[in-house]
Amino acid sequence: MTDAGRKKVALVIGAGDATGGAIARRFAREGYVACVTRRSLDKLQPLLDSIREAGGEAHGFASDARKEEQVAELVEQIERDIGPIEVMVFNIGANVPCSILDETARKYFKIWEMACFAGFLTSQAVAKRMVARGRGTILFTGATAGLRGAAGFAAFAGAKHGIRALAQSMARELGPLNVHVAHVVVDGAIDTAFIRDNWPEQYALKDRDGILNPEHIADSYWYLHSQPRDAWTFELDLRPWMERW
C-alpha cells in the first residue's frame, strides 16, 4: 500500500503524564495515529485509554530510546504496520539536580544518554524515512537549561545544550529537504503531580495562569507542525506571563 492510502502517524518519544501525553492527544484529535513510547508499557495505558475513548487511534510501545537496536525496531514496526511517521516529538526529560561537587560520572552520563543521545538516535532513524519521502516534522522539547546552565544542574544543562545544538544542525541540513525541525524551550513549572506535591506554593499559581498547562503546550506543537514552509519557526519559547526570564 502506498503512503497515500495509509494513516499518518505522530510518534511521541517519552509520552509522560503531562506534556508528552497532551501532545499525543492533540495530534490524535487531528486524525493522526498516536504512537507513544515509554520504557514501561503499563504506564502508557491511561493515555492510550483516554485517546481511544475520545475516538482517536493510539498504540503504545515499551522502548528504550537510548538503545539503537530498539529505536530501529520501533521505527521499522510503525512504518511497516501502522503508517508513515509524519511527525516525531522527542520529549524525554532528565531534570535531575545535583551539585557539580557531588555529581558522579555514571549519573552524568545517564542524563546525557536520556536527554541528548536518545534524541540523536530517534531523530536520525525517523529523519531517514522523512527525507526519503520528502516531508516530515521533527520537534524537540527543550528547556531553559539549554540556553543557560543553572547552579546545581550541570548534567542537565549539558544534555539540553547538546539537544539544542543537534536540533540547530538538523534544521539547517534537513530544512532544504522539506523536513521541518524545531526546538521548543519550555521555561517554567508545568501543571503536574510532581510540581503539586513538591512545590505547592508554585503550584498555587495555577489559578492565576502562573504555571504551564500541558494542553496549551501541545497546541504549540501542533502549530509548529502545521506551519507553511515559507514561514517555518526553528525555536519557540513558552512561559507563563509572570515567569522571569
Tell me whether residue 120 is in a domain: yes
Tens digit of each residue's pLDDT (9 = 90 or more) over 110-139? 999 999 999 999 999 999 999 999 999 999
pLDDT of residue 93: 83
Tell me whether residue 194 is in a domain: yes
- Percent of the chain predicted with pLDDT > 90: 82
Tell me whether residue 208 is in a domain: yes
Tell me whether residue 187 is in a domain: yes
20: how many CB neighbours lie within 10 A of its CB? 27
Confidence of residue 106 (pLDDT cuts 50, 70, 90): very high
Average pLDDT, the chain: 94
Helix (H) or strand (E) holding 142: strand 136-143
Tell me whether residue 81 is in a domain: yes
Tell me whether residue 63 is in a domain: yes
Give me the mean pLDDT over the 59-74 stretch.
97
Tens digit of each residue's pLDDT (9 = 90 or more) over 45-54? 999 999 999 9
Taking the C-alpha atoms of residue 52 and residue 32, their distance in angstroms, rounded to an integer, is 12
In the 8-state DSSP scheme, what is residue 177? Answer: G
The CATH number for 153's domain is: 3.40.50.720
pLDDT of residue 2: 59
If we measure between CA atoms, which residue out of 92, 77, 96, 1 comes closest to residue 39?
A: 92
Counted domains in the chain? 1
Query: Whole domain around residue 35: which residue ranges?
Result: 7-238
Tell me whether residue 1 is in a domain: no
pLDDT of residue 107: 95
Tell me whether residue 244 is in a domain: no
